[in-house]
């Protein structure tokens, strides 16, 4: 009964390929996020969706395209993968939108993407 689950856990691929990471939350939350943690361990917000609508896009290259088929799912599709995309990608969810209140974020355990 994992709250926020991501698949796959590991993803190894070559430059130029297109790949997707899936995320699902069973907490009934309205808002979902993608964060990226690079090799220096900095954790940066990428996107956020609230009830299937994009509310945050932190100047991420347009090779990254999030898609939210329903409020329990937020997938991340990456086109033309580059070496610099290698990182751990975390999905998260919260009850409300950022700023609406201080509802905590619940994170998944990450997807380690390695681009060779």
Beta-bridged to residue 49, according to DSSP, are 32, 54
Q: 75 with 47: CB under 8 angstroms?
A: no
Q: How far is the CB of 74 from another protein (least distance, A)?
A: 14
Q: Rounded to whole angstroms, how far apart are CA atoms 6 and 115?
A: 18
Quick check: 20 and 85 in contact, CB under 8 A?
Answer: no
Question: Shortest Cβ distance from residue 8 to another protein (Å)?
Answer: 15
Footprint on this chain of another protein (rule: CB under 8 A): 4, 35, 41-45, 48, 56, 90, 92, 97-100, 102, 104-110
- Separation CA 12–CA 53 (nearest Å): 30
Instruction: Between 45 and 72, name the residue whose CB sits nearer to another protein.
Output: 45
CB of 66 to another protein, least distance (A): 16
14 or 41: CB nearest another protein: 41
- Is the CB of 57 or the CB of 80 nearer to another protein? 57
């Amino acid at each position: 009964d994992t709250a926020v689950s991501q698949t796959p856990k590991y993803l190894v691929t070559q430059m130029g390929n297109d790949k997707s990471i899936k995320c699902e939350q069973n907490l009934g939350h309205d808002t979902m996020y993608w964060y990226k943690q690079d090799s220096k361990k900095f954790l940066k917000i990428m996107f956020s969706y609230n009830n299937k609508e994009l509310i945050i896009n932190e100047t991420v290259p347009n090779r990254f395209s999030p898609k939210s088929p329903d409020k329990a799912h937020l997938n991340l599709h990456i086109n033309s993968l580059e070496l610099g995309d290698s990182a751990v990608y975390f999905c998260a969810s919260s009850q409300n939108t950022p700023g609406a209140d201080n509802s905590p974020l619940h994170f998944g355990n990450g997807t380690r993407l390695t681009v060779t």
